[in-house]
């Protein structure tokens, strides 16, 4: 398997179960966070309560940025405003340009920055290409619960095996 598709931490957890302490112990100071699937379902406009609480706690310890491939700036802006976090929509992950802009805005050593997302071929690949830490989390359903059978991820992992 190519290292470009390998998450530093394949957590198998929804984002709201990621330990803040573990992130701090890994030296992480800044978080770039994917939106659709990671913070809430793409089919939902409601940020789950436990996600909101996790974000609230995170803000005490980390500098945060939302980075979404969704071209709908209105949707991502509403979510970012509700959480009071800076954001980029239409980020074109796994292309590096916008992610690198965000990284330079964070003003932090790259090894102290992590990207958290639910997809390998966008979130994990762009993080690895930008030399930051990469954390794969479970995709959230419309009810805000981790999806048990995530076909996208199964397919991405299958394809990853055959990448050189």
Which CB sits closer to Mg ion, 37 or 48?
37
Nearest to residue 126, comparing CAs of 104, 100, 157?
100
Does residue 140 sit in helix, strand or coil?
strand
CB of 119 to Mg ion, least distance (A): 5
| Inter-residue contact 92 to 125 (CB < 8 Å) | no
CB of 117 to Mg ion, least distance (A): 5
Which CB sits closer to Mg ion, 37 or 144?
37
Position of minimal CB gap to Mg ion: 37
Q: Where are the alpha helices (DSSP H) in 14-111?
A: 20-25, 49-61, 73-83, 97-106
Binding footprint of Mg ion on the chain (CB under 5 A): 34, 36-37, 118
Which CB sits closer to Mg ion, 113 or 137?
137
What value, to the nearest 5°, has the Cα angle with vertex 39 and ends 156 and 159? 0
CB of 107 to Mg ion, least distance (A): 25
């Amino acid at each position: 398997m190519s290292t470009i598709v390998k998450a530093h931490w394949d957590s198998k957890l929804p984002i709201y179960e990621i330990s803040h302490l573990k992130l701090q112990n890994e030296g992480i100071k800044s978080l770039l966070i994917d939106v659709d699937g990671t913070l809430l379902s793409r089919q939902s406009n409601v940020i789950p309560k436990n996600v909101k609480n996790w974000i609230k706690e995170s803000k005490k310890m980390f500098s945060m940025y939302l980075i979404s491939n969704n071209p709908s700036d209105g949707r991502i802006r509403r979510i970012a405003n509700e959480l009071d976090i800076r954001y980029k929509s239409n980020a074109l992950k796994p292309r590096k340009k916008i992610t690198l802009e965000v990284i330079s805005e964070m003003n932090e050593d790259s090894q102290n920055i992590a990207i958290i997302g639910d997809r390998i071929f966008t979130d994990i690949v762009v993080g690895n290409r930008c030399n930051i830490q990469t954390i794969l989390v479970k995709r959230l359903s419309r009810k805000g619960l981790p999806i048990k059978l995530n076909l996208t991820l199964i397919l991405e992992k299958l394809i990853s095996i055959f990448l050189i």
